[in-house]
Amino acid sequence: MFASPTLGRRRSICIDDRSIGFVSMYPGSDNDRHRADMGYAIAAKYWSQGITTKAVKMAMSQVFKDYPDLLRLQSFVDVENKASQRVLEKAGFQREGVPNSWELVFAIVISILFMETNLSKMITLRPFRLSDVDDLMSYAGDDQVTRSLRWKTLTTRDEALTFVCTDVCIPHPWRRAICIDDRSIGFVTIFPGSGDDKYKADLGYAIAAKYWGQGITTKAVKIAVSQVFNDFPILVRLQAFADVENKASQRVLEKAGFQREGVLRKYGYLKGNIKDLVVYSFLSTEVAVL
């Protein structure tokens, strides 16, 4: 069963080399090349026999190899189509929500198939280097990433060079590049206090949009936490602030072991807006439980 090639990205689901249905992949382009949409159908006589689930699993095992840049495979299903929802769930897709009144979105990311088991080997933190300029530009020049940062979006390589060398990265007391294969895909920053506040520090982070939703930021934050209490022996409290609307960032902190303490109303100023922020903390006595 599966799969005779037809029109490039569409594969025929076959039994005894006879087509009984299809699976299609619609890869994105440009800034969306990290994700693809999937569709499928089989003849009614073969419904409810597990055939579609098997075909979808086979397609998944192939598509991440055929499209090396692909990180996310998603599928949209009518909310009334329970059979199709079961196919995706049995194939390992995660139900994410209802973006419209009539459809559900399911997704599987490469972390489920490959990256998750290798995260501890693949992800490293290190100080920034001059050679990180182009990699930094790929995410610091992306409005999707910078909209939740105080940084302005970088527009030129010269801006990125200044950013790395003199303004933000290399001179910073504790800013680390989040790396995969030693290529910077984001950062984690610690802002240590001074004077009477030297026992506490603030944490900040961001990664390139193509790596969102894969557990990479959580892993990087955990690595940072394990290091920072050694680097700053006087540190007792590490805290982080997340926009009340930024649920993804809140999940990162919770999965990294931070405790949610409450909401600070109209507390943070970001790009012309005063924001309600959720405050999280991690104490030095909690490092052992990481």
pTM of the model: 0.61
User: Within a 13 Å sphere around the CA of 144, how many CA atoms are in the beta-carbon half?
Assistant: 11
Q: What is the separation of C-alpha 187 from the centre of its chain, rounded to a whole number of angstroms?
A: 13
Distance CA 229, CA 256 (A): 15
Give the per-residue pLDDT at 30: 79
Q: Say whether pLDDT at 190 is over 90.
A: yes
Contact, 242 vs 194, CB < 8 A?
no
Strand order in the sheet with 259-270: 123-127, 175-180, 183-192, 200-207, 237-243, 273-283, 259-270
What is the torsion angle, in degrees rounded to the nearest 10, for the CA atoms of residue 246, residue 251, residue 253 and residue 257? 160
What's the pLDDT tens digit per position in 132-150? 999 999 999 999 998 888 8
Contact, 234 vs 265, CB < 8 A?
no
Give the per-residue pLDDT at 91: 85
Q: Which two tokens stand for residue 180?
A: 């995969």
Give the pLDDT band of residue 130 (cuts 50, 70, 90).
very high
Domains belonging to the chain, first-starting first, are: 4-113 (3.40.630.30), 117-289 (3.40.630.30)
| C-alpha distances out from residue 52 to 4, 45, 87, 88, 89, Å | 15, 12, 7, 9, 12
What is the β-pairing status of strands 259-270 and 273-283? Answer: antiparallel
Q: Say whether pLDDT at 206 is over 90.
A: yes
Q: Say whether pLDDT at 122 is over 60.
A: yes
Contact, 191 vs 256, CB < 8 A?
no
Give the per-residue pLDDT at 120: 45
Mean of all residue pLDDT scores within the chain: 85
Give the per-residue pLDDT at 103: 54
At a CB cut-off of 8 Å and minimum separation 6, what does 156 contact?
A: none
User: For a pLDDT cut of 90, what percent of the chain falls above it?
Assistant: 49
Give the per-residue pLDDT at 63: 83
Q: Flag the least confident range among 11-15, 20-24, 192-196, 271-275.
A: 271-275
Q: Say whether pLDDT at 102 is over 70.
A: no
Give the pLDDT band of residue 85 (cuts 50, 70, 90).
confident
